[in-house]
Structure 1
Amino acid sequence: MSYHNGAGQSAPLQSYEEAVEWINGLIPFGIRPGLDRIKALMEMLGNPERRLKFIHVAGTNGKGSTCAFLTRVLIQSGYSVGTFTSPYITKFTNRFQYNGEDIPEETLLRLANRLYPLVQEIAGGELGSPTMFEVSTALAILYYAQESVPDVVVWETGLGGRMDVTNIVHPVVSVITNVGMDHTDILGETVAEIAGEKAGIIKPGVPVVSAVTQPEAVKVIKEAAARNRSTLYLAGEQFSYRRLGGDEEGQTFSFSGPFREAEIRIGLQGEHQCANAACAMMTLEVLRHYMAFVIEKEDLNKGFLETRWAGRLEQVGSSPRIVLDGAHNPEGAESLAKSLPQIYEYRKLNLMMGMLANKHHEPYLKHILPIVDTLILTEPDFRRKMDANALRNIVEQIREKYAKQTLQIIIEPDWKNALELLKSRTEAEDLGVVSGTLYLIADVRSSLLGLSDAEKGW
């Protein structure tokens, strides 16, 4: 049986669940770099992306938090904002937000039905089937260009930048948060190569904001900006920030840019969030100064202070105290190891972690092991999970050099049992931390906060 979607033809997808299943069913087509399929899709739709203002955000870590700061401050300032992010932490609809609210399920279904025949048509040709991420990106563009029509879209890259599907758009400002060693199988083996991929979002004449620090990455980004005649605002050069202090409630930093100086308080934890917030602040300054965006001081302050980002140094329990952090690469682990003793006072640190099989686990562990008392190794409920015993083997190899002599290691592949172990072992003066892949964080967060309709994924 099929119902009609008002255009006279029957709709192939009957429900929200079917639509999500269809999109996720494209996952076996993988992440295939290249813009040919998304360009073909956009042309079939009449290039709706050309009618929108995008803030394009790339970077190894901190993309999501930077997008969250931008979204919150712009909404607080009275603008309507679309936010496209990945991976999502509780539900597929989280990827497509308008003014902080998920896309309605019936809208997603309707747009999926519009895309379905076009995807089939492309799949039948020489380009092959569009991927899950390509279809999600096309769906986001349709949602923003034809349904919600926001003043501005905060647009997060999926992977890299240059060949990432999101690079189909021509933004009003580009942001590159930082560069680190992640997805090296796709993006390159060196910092310079990865920076080159991120710098691929720089467009002719479009200003760029970045907090990249490594000299070789800075060089690549400066060259790309010069080649495109784009004005570059680089942390440490055109703008600067300095953390002034913090407590369990948040932290404060000073910002100094070409147009003004400010003292900003944020609710997000970790020194690296000052870098992300400074990046967001400089981006807002570009919008304010060059594009006539009106952002009042009190809205700016309120927006920054009220920004929340799930699963990033997020305390989700007080008895026992449990903190979630989706640090899944070496840079994330370094930030986490630095932030925990800075923010919290504790006697013992109990860490539960689970990883995907495609990551650099040894450098991650080198950063985090020195501060851990009990390590609980588990496995995310996801197809590319890393075997907990394989993770233990890596820990054992580097244990002598990096871990405390008293480190206790527990293997519990079932994450639900692992979480119960973490809770029971974390006493009042201890701190429990769950870290690793966001696929694990998503499940643990839903379990601790009692979210029933949690889905998760890329």
Structure 2
Amino acid sequence: MKERNIAVNEAAEYLDQIPKFSKEKHTVEMVREMLRILGSPQDDMKIVHIAGTNGKGSVCAFLSSVFREAGYTAAVFTSPHLLSITERFAFNGKDVDDELFLYAYRKVRDAQEEFEKIGAGHPSYFEFLFLMFMVMVKKSPCDYVVLETGLGGRLDATNCVEHPLATVITSISLDHMEYLGDTVEKIAGEKAGIIKPGVPVVYDNTSAEASAVIRAKAEEMGSRTWPVDNTSYSGLELDGGHLKLMAKQADGGTEHALDIPFAAEYQAVNSMLAFRTAEILGIDAEVISRGIGHAVWPGRMEQIMENVYLDGAHNEGGIREFAKAARAIAAKRGGGRRILLFAVVSDKEYREMAEILCREFMPDVLILTQIEYGRGLDIRKLNEAAHDAWKKVDSLLGRTEGADRAGGESGHDIRVIQTVAEALKEALREKKPEDTVFCAGSLYLIGEIKDVLRRNEA
């Protein structure tokens, strides 16, 4: 077992080095050629293909749980991971075992010479992982495969899948604009690129701009659409660490109670996307309800200890939904301070994210830190953005500026702590019984926090 763990670590180290010698992604057609060399493992799979800006992973988790509740086996491909690369490959609710992981890794790596012959060169990091997943499922077949896109949709490696059972498009907002476009409509066009002829499309209908693009693409492809929004359910309420609602069936028939094991309102639409998808695949509504209730998805408004929550919100849309959900959770407690630990990666719209948090969440204590991961934003830039954000909010509210504990001018409690471990310690030290602590800004931050807790450093 120890030798196998060493082998997995060595494989992970090799995969982490891939960006050094594979600078560009390949076309969808070239990825399909790579799969052909690997035996076209995707051809016999029953795949649900999921794209979107936020919520993809949650929908994957809901669907996987529903399939298992219905007595089916399910394999799920998601990204990124929090602690271990094996988290990206889940079989029946559990991370892939080392043996299957290493089998797939070696299979793809051994195919490199054949990839070179067709002019493909080396797969990118994401492509390599996707190819591994396809090999895994070929080796260990499942009744259903839940496939999350990486960046975008139209040009994504996963879009080489030609005949999915259904496509799902979650909420769409501005993110990765340098690759996908600078408007919601352009980004929606990229995400809608996963729609296939005649394949049903279940989509988040909460953005009029995105929905119009998705409907137009579905009509072009002759695909029936199933929109989901806040009219798809009723009676939404936050009950402790759970959401409760009544899910409406697509035909307007009986409503079914959903007890969603996440304390965030944005999970209402995500759970309904999974509900509707499973429904059109012929799964009984009561079974769907139970499956959603048993779903597990770490780092999405996850309560890790009394009144301490982790949420992987990492872009403007996600942060806006986080602020709304976190405000509701804190309000339920009826008092106490809101303590926020915040860090981001450098390629995000961090100034806009900071402004949303200060304006819409208004933390009483804001603890800033820097993610160790290579793309972590320099803490000095984040500190400047936080002070500027509070100044804007104060100006909007007509408040007078003062001096804060960090020596700035915003009049707010902003603390700058270099490492995630020390920042988490500070948040937990500061927390009184009536306070609530939230950690958000990046899934990489959540991963580092979980690693700190695993090593008992907080």
- Give the TM-score normalised by the residue count of structure 2: 0.89
What aligned pairs does 1:307-322 form with structure 2 within 5 A after superposition?
A: 307-318=295-306, 321-322=307-308
**What CA distance in whole angstroms lies between the structure 2 residues aligned with 1:253 and 1:14?**
46
CA distance in 1, matches of 2:285, 2:449: 38
Question: Are 2:104 and 2:133, in contact at CA under 8 Å, matched by a contact in 1?
Answer: no
1:325 partner letter: D
Letter in 2 for 1:341: R
Q: Identity over the aligned pairs, expressed in percent?
A: 32
94, 98, 101: which one aligns with 1:101: 94
Is residue 2:352 matched to residue 1:358? no
Residue 391 of structure 2 corresponds to residue 400 of structure 1: yes
1:16-73 CA-to-partner distances (Å, cap 9, x unmatched) read 2222222222133246262244222111122110110000011100001111111111
Structure 1 residue 236, shift from structure 2 partner: 4.7
d(CA) in 1 for partners of 2:289 and 2:336? 35
CA contact (8 A) 1:372 1:407 kept: no
Which residue number corresponds to residue 295 of structure 1?
Answer: 284
CA deviations over 1:333-366 (Å, ceiling 9, x no partner): 1111111221232411111111110001122122
Q: Identify the match of residue 391 of structure 1 among 368, 382, 386.
A: 382
| Match of residue 430 from structure 2 | 425
CA deviation after TM superposition for structure 1 residue 255, in Å: 2.2
Shift of 1:249: 2.8
1:376, CA displacement in angstroms?
Answer: 1.1
1:447 CA drift (Å): 2.1
**What is the number of equivalent residue pairs in this alignment?**
431
Aligned residue for 1:89, secondary structure, equals coil
Q: Greater CA deviation, 347-356 or 442-451?
A: 442-451
> Of residues 369, 375, 396 in structure 2, which corresponds to 1:378?
369
CA distance in 1, matches of 2:178, 2:64: 31
Deviation at 1:177, TM superposition (A): 0.8
| Secondary structure of 1:15 counterpart | helix
**Which residue is equivalent to 1:18?**
10
Assess if the C-alpha contact under 8 Å between 1:37 and 1:122 holds in 2: no
Task: Name the SS for the 2:76 alignment partner.
Answer: strand
Map 1:125-274 → 2, pairs under 5 A: 126-145=119-138, 147-169=139-161, 170-236=163-229, 240-259=232-251, 260=253, 261-274=255-268
**Cα distance change on mapping 1:124 and 1:351 into 2, 3 Å:** farther
SS in 2 for 1:182: coil
- Alpha-carbon deviation of 1:451? 8.3
**In the alignment, which residue of structure 2 is the partner of 1:455?**
none
Taking a change above 3 Å as real, the CA distance of residues 125 and 149 of structure 1, as seen in their structure-2 partners, is closer
Q: Deviations over 1:160-216 (max 9, x none)?
A: 100001111121000001111111111111111100000001000100000132222
Pick one of 424, 430, 440 that aligns with 1:435.
440
Q: Which amino acid aligns with 1:278?
A: M
The structure-2 alpha-carbon separation of the partners of 1:416 and 1:451, relative to structure 1 and needing over 3 Å to count, comes to closer
Once residues 210 and 260 of structure 2 are traced to their aligned partners in structure 1, the CA distance between those partners, rounded to angstroms, is 27
Partner of 2:408: none
Provide the residue aligned with 1:276 in structure 2: 270
CA contact (8 A) 2:279 2:285 kept: no
Secondary structure of the structure 1 residue equivalent to 2:417: strand
Could you tell me whether the CA contact under 8 Å between 1:77 and 1:296 is conserved in 2? no
CA–CA distance in 2 between the matches of 1:356 and 1:422?
Answer: 20
Asked if the contact 2:310/2:439 (under 8 Å) is kept, the reply is: yes
Which residue of 1 is the match for residue 317 of structure 2?
Answer: 331
Whole-Å Cα distance in 1 between the matches of residues 425 and 61 of structure 2? Answer: 31
How many Å separate the matches in 1 of 2:168 and 2:288? 19
Equivalence map 1:406-421=2 (5 Å): 406-421=411-426
Change over 3 Å in CA distance of 1:243–1:191 after alignment to 2: farther
Amino acid at match of 2:446: I
Taking a change above 3 Å as real, the CA distance of residues 159 and 243 of structure 1, as seen in their structure-2 partners, is farther
The letter of the residue matching 1:393 is E
8 A contact 1:352–1:419 mirrored in 2: yes
Deviation of residue 300 (structure 1)? 2.5
Whether contact under 8 Å (1:82, 1:98) holds in the other structure is yes
Deviation at 1:83, TM superposition (A): 0.8
Cα gap change, 1:408/1:31 in structure 2, threshold over 3 Å: closer, same or farther? farther
CA positional deviation for 1:449 = 4.7
Determine the C-alpha separation between the residues in 1 that align with 2:58 and 2:23. 26
Greater shift after overlay, 127-136 or 197-206?
A: 127-136
* Local SS of the residue matching 2:367: strand
Any gaps of 5 or more consecutive residues in structure 1? 4-12, 289-293, 453-458
Q: SS at 1:75's partner residue?
A: helix
Q: Distance in 2 between matches of 1:445 and 1:31?
A: 31
Structure 2 partner of 1:456: none
Q: Which runs of 5+ in 2 are unaligned?
A: 402-410
Return the offset for 1:90. 2.2
Rounded to whole Å, the distance in 1 between the matches of 2:47 and 2:167 is 9
> What's the counterpart of residue 343 of structure 1?
329
User: Structure 1 CA distance, aligned partners of 2:143 and 2:50?
Assistant: 17
Over aligned residues, Cα RMSD in angstroms?
A: 2.2
Q: Distance in 2 between the 1:30 and 1:361 partners?
A: 25
The code of the aligned residue for 1:279 comes to L
CA shift digits 1:72-130 (9 cap, x unpaired): 11101100000111001221111111101111112211221111132244247643321
Q: Which residue of 2 aligns with 1:69?
A: 62
Which amino acid is 1:162 matched to?
R
**TM-superposed deviation, 1:303:** 1.5
Cα distance, 1:243 vs structure 2? 4.7
Q: Which amino acid aligns with 2:301?
A: L
- Counterpart CA distance in 1 for 2:79 and 2:113 is 24
Q: Aligned partners of 1:31 and 1:434: how far apart in 2?
A: 33
